Chains A and B, each alone.
Chain A
Amino acid sequence: MSRRSLLGLAALGLAACKKGSSPPTPRVDPDATALAAARDGELTLIRSCEAVGFTADQNIHTAHFKALGGVFPSAPVMPKLLQTDEIQSAVRGSVASLRGAAVAAIDGDHAARFASIAASHEVMAGE
């Protein structure tokens, strides 16, 4: 059997599969869980910084949130607000998980963003 006829058979096989197959499922981002967790953390920091008037930090966390693909919800979502001293420890505490997400990210662009946000949080925690 020639290579061309084999290709023809393969095409027929694919067509047969298509007839009975279910509609294609949307591609799932393998980093979706880590991205969502990081966005949740940033949203909490944004709202907490806003509540205590840390405008500069709020702006940085907003940039992080957007870099993670975050879009502010149209309906008000109020995460649990952190107290002033809790903000600093939350930022410090997030460094390890963000770095872990960076190392484990399947998508390189996500990895770089996680690593950069971890770096930013590390600097902020040390200030």
Chain B
Amino acid sequence: MRRRLCSNETVPAQPDTGIFALERPQPSLWKLYVIRCILSGPAIFITLPYHYFRYLTLRYRFDEEGIHMKVGILFRREVNLTYARIQDIHLSSGFIQRWLGLADVQVQTASGNSGAELVIEGFREFEAIRDFLYSRMRGARGDSRPAAAAQPGHAPQAAGEGSVELLLQIRDELRRTREALETRSQHPDV
């Protein structure tokens, strides 16, 4: 599993298949939990076992429709979230996380919650996950579609670029016609 995860980093050409393969967080997430628990002081006796089981049971699943997260050993929690409902994506990393090469991808829907509905933690390819989610959230799609007009904002520029080329071709064509006309009027007998 780990080797597969690592190899995903080096193959950015097919990010989707790499993301679909993600399941367990990296072992460095456990390190992060340990550091955080040590920093939390005397509460370590409660927080460390809790985080140990959290690390052990944390599972993610990415499929065509959405993200699924499952965690917990006594109290289980399962979160399902469809890509189309994603409102905003946050990438947040404290410096300890950056030392370990990790970051949190906080995903939110339009619920009445000020916190994140789902936090994807413990993956080194957080940027790839973020970009993957971005490309599937509302308003981000469009480059895969042939109909450029379906995308507001993006379409005028795309249409503009192509039509400028076309217009310049029309101009050149007109110019050549004019030049031909002029040479003919100068030599009427030709």
Decide whether A and B assemble into one complex: no
Listed in ascending order, the chain A residues whose CB lies under 8 Å from chain B are: none
B residues apposed to A, CB below 8 Å: none
